[in-house]
Amino acid sequence: MPKIVIPNMINPYYSSFYPSYMYPTRIIPRRTFRSLGTAALDTTPVSISYTSPINSFLSEDIYFSYPLTPIGPSIISDYDTVDDDIELRSKMTKYFYEKFFNNWLLNEYSKLLKFYKVKKDKVSKVTSKKDYENNTLNDEQKRTAIDYIINNVYDKYDLKLSLKDFVRKSRTKWFELKDNKEDVKHIIYRDLKKKIKATY
């Protein structure tokens, strides 16, 4: 019976760099090899469902065609080039910074400001749940509390880290952040709340 000699190497792709006497060989009978037959030529597309870690309701179908073969390093697209632009990231950070501290924190997330008491421009933290519930702030006091947060708890650099975290976990692009405004807003709120709790 004819036999096939295969070098006993870790990686056969580098066999051309070494002469045959430098490595041992082992004998493998031909019958251990099986033909793939027509399976290797099957090009039927296969659908795989992918779910975003952040928005579970968003999904997309990814199609692969067999046979799968290595295609080398990925090609950087125009979208990747735009997304890496420092100016774009700075604009997005500024947009959400101004939106959050000038609008969202004053209105729908104003309950976070109740963690601080303001008297004559002096800011102090509430000391109990009852103190929190009874704490009321007018618009001017809210602004003072926000200034305190920016200077002592959560600034624009922290906000940028929150945006980076969202981009990484949701696999979105920086230029898509405005399209995901509601989710981004919640992430910033969550991170700020963690920072406030860490000060107690």
| Helical (H) or strand (E) element with 3 | strand 3-7
Three-state SS for 103-172 is HHCCCCCHHHHHHEEEECCEEEECCCHHHHHCCCCCHHHHHHHHHHHHHHCCCHHHHHHHHHHHHHHHCC
Domain edges within the chain:
3-30, 78-198
Instruction: Supply the pLDDT for residue 186.
Output: 94
Residue 68: pLDDT band (50, 70, 90) is very low
Question: In this prediction, what percent of the chain has a pLDDT beyond 70?
Answer: 59
- Using one digit for the tens of pLDDT, what is the confidence trace for 117-130? 999 889 999 999 99
Residue 10, judged by CB atoms within 10 A of its CB (0-12, 13-18, 19+), counts as exposed
- 63 close to 47: Cβ distance less than 8 angstroms: yes
Residue 14: pLDDT band (50, 70, 90) is very low
CA gap 23, 148 in Å, rounded? 70
Residue 85: pLDDT band (50, 70, 90) is confident
Instruction: Supply the pLDDT for residue 179.
Output: 93
